Amino acid sequence: MTERIVSGMRSTGKLHLGHYLGVIQNWVKLQKEYESFFFVADWHALTTKYDNTANLKQDVKDVVIDWLACGIDPNISTIYVQSHVPEIAELNIYLSMITPQNWVERDPTLKDMAKILRTKEGANSQVSYGLLGYPVLMSSDIMMFNATAVPVGIDQVAHLEFTRDVARRFNNIYKTEFFKEAKPLLNECSLICGLDGNKMGKSFNNDIKISDTAEETAKKIMTAITDRSRLRKTDLGHPDQCEVAFKYWEIFGTPEQIQKVKTECEQGLRGCADCKRELAAVINEYFAPIREKRRYYEEHPEEVTEIINDGSAKARQEAQKVLKEVRKIVGMY
Ligand code: TRP
Ligand code: SF4
Q: Is the confidence at residue 190, as pLDDT, over 70? A: no
Q: Identify the pLDDT of residue 265.
A: 96
Domain(s) of CATH 3.40.50.620: residues in the chain:
4-192+301-330
Distance 109 CA to ligand 1 centre (A): 12
Which of 158, 154, 159 is CA-nearest to residue 139? Answer: 159
41 lines ligand 1 (CB under 6 A): yes
Which of 4, 2, 1 is CA-nearest to residue 182? Answer: 4
Digit-coded pLDDT (tens) for 8-40: 999 999 999 999 998 999 999 999 999 999 999
| Choices 1.10.240.10, 1.20.1260.10, 2.40.50.100, 3.40.50.1860: CATH for 212-293 | 1.10.240.10
H/E stretch holding 152 reads strand 149-152
Domain(s) of CATH 1.10.240.10: residues in the chain:
212-293
Digit-coded pLDDT (tens) for 231-256: 888 899 999 999 999 999 999 999 99
Ligand nearest to the CA of 27: 1
Ligand nearest to the CA of 258: 2
19 lines ligand 1 (CB under 6 A): no
Least confident stretch, 190-199, 216-225, 238-247, 300-309: 190-199
Which of 212, 190, 198 is CA-nearest to residue 62? Answer: 212
User: Which numbered atom of ligand 2 lies nearest the CA of 271?
Assistant: 5
Indicate the Cα dihedral angle 288, 293, 297, 300, nearest 10°.
110
Atom 5 in ligand 1: residue holding the nearest Cα: 9
The number of C-alpha atoms within 13 Å of 316 and in the hemisphere containing its C-beta is 11
CATH number for the domain whose boundaries are 4-192+301-330: 3.40.50.620
Mutational test site, ligand 1, from 156, 164, 186, max ligand atoms within 8 Å of CB: 156
Q: What is the mean pLDDT of residues 188-194?
A: 80
**Cα of 231 vs its chain's centroid, Å:** 37
